[in-house]
Amino acid sequence: MSRFTARFFNEASKPKQEYGEFFKQCYVIGYKTLTLVGVTAFIMGLVLTIQSRPTLLEFGAESLLPSMVSVSLIREIAPVITALICAGKIGSGLGAELGSMKVTEQIDAMEVSGTNPFKYLVVTRVLATTLMVPILSSLANAISLYGGFLGVNLRGDVSWNLYWFQVFGILNFGDVLPSLIKTFFFGFAIGIVGCYKGFSSQKGTEGVGRSATTAVIVASLMVFIVDLIAVQITDLLGLT
């Protein structure tokens, strides 16, 4: 796996990239996951708000609801949930796609026809996930805040303007930036794990299924590990 990652950086830094395939993959990865991410983010925002209300009510701090919810969503919940969904959807997709190309000798056929399959298939896909997961995650941030607005207004009455005033009042640079940066690493981890599992598929269709499953498991685990490392770093840098 580490050799695979090293090879990725080696191939990605060489000239002559496959731009056409890269944009196609961005489209495939981004567009096909958008609805799923959007719906989940909206529900997360809504549910988190509804769940948090009783606790805040106990402390008589109901008016802090928008602030509290938005901080949790932006710093942690929206990026991590998005990354997990992408690990499931994109990770398994990459594992299965490259895995079946491997076992049906399509990757060998590419190599014979003079195309570097690593560059054409792996580099483009890893770069595409590294770019698209942060974009999806940013969209999820925004959508989950809309969910939060609805949640606040189910049992209370906070005007549109006041809600956003509170949200942007509490969110600062130190919340948004680390959360954005870590999503690039989420995207990279998902892409590299999915491609690695696909590329190293063993013979047979059974191997393809196994690649897809382990890609999801390992990618999800990597998301949490990256998250853990990210929180330590932001803590050390005093960005909390």
Contacts to another protein by CB under 8 A = 97, 100-101, 104-106, 108-116
User: In the complex with another protein, which residue's Cβ is closer, 108 or 206?
Assistant: 108
Q: In the complex, what is the shortest distance from the CB of residue 135 to another protein, in angstroms, rounded to a whole number?
A: 24
User: In the complex with another protein, which residue's Cβ is closer, 77 or 101?
Assistant: 101
Q: In this structure, are residues 86 and 192 in contact, taking their beta carbons and an 8 Å threshold?
A: no
Q: In the complex, what is the shortest distance from the CB of residue 89 to another protein, in angstroms, rounded to a whole number?
A: 17
Q: In the complex, what is the shortest distance from the CB of residue 170 to another protein, in angstroms, rounded to a whole number?
A: 46
Q: In the complex, what is the shortest distance from the CB of residue 106 to another protein, in angstroms, rounded to a whole number?
A: 5
CA distance 219 to 15: 29
Q: Which residues of 209-222 are buried (b: 16+ CB within 10 A; e: fewer)?
A: bbbbebbbebbbeb
CA distance 33 to 135: 11
Q: In the complex, what is the shortest distance from the CB of residue 222 to another protein, in angstroms, rounded to a whole number?
A: 26
User: In the complex with another protein, which residue's Cβ is closer, 68 or 208?
Assistant: 208
CA distances for 179 relative to 8, 77, 111, 202, 236, angstroms: 25, 10, 39, 37, 15
User: In the complex with another protein, which residue's Cβ is closer, 118 or 163?
Assistant: 118
User: In the complex with another protein, which residue's Cβ is closer, 126 or 143?
Assistant: 126
User: In the complex with another protein, which residue's Cβ is closer, 97 or 175?
Assistant: 97
CA distance 58 to 53: 9
User: In the complex with another protein, which residue's Cβ is closer, 60 or 114?
Assistant: 114
Q: In the complex, what is the shortest distance from the CB of residue 111 to another protein, in angstroms, rounded to a whole number?
A: 6
Q: In the complex, what is the shortest distance from the CB of residue 100 to another protein, in angstroms, rounded to a whole number?
A: 8
Look up residue 82 and give its amino acid: T
Say how many C-beta atoms besides its own lie within 10 A of residue 182's C-beta: 25
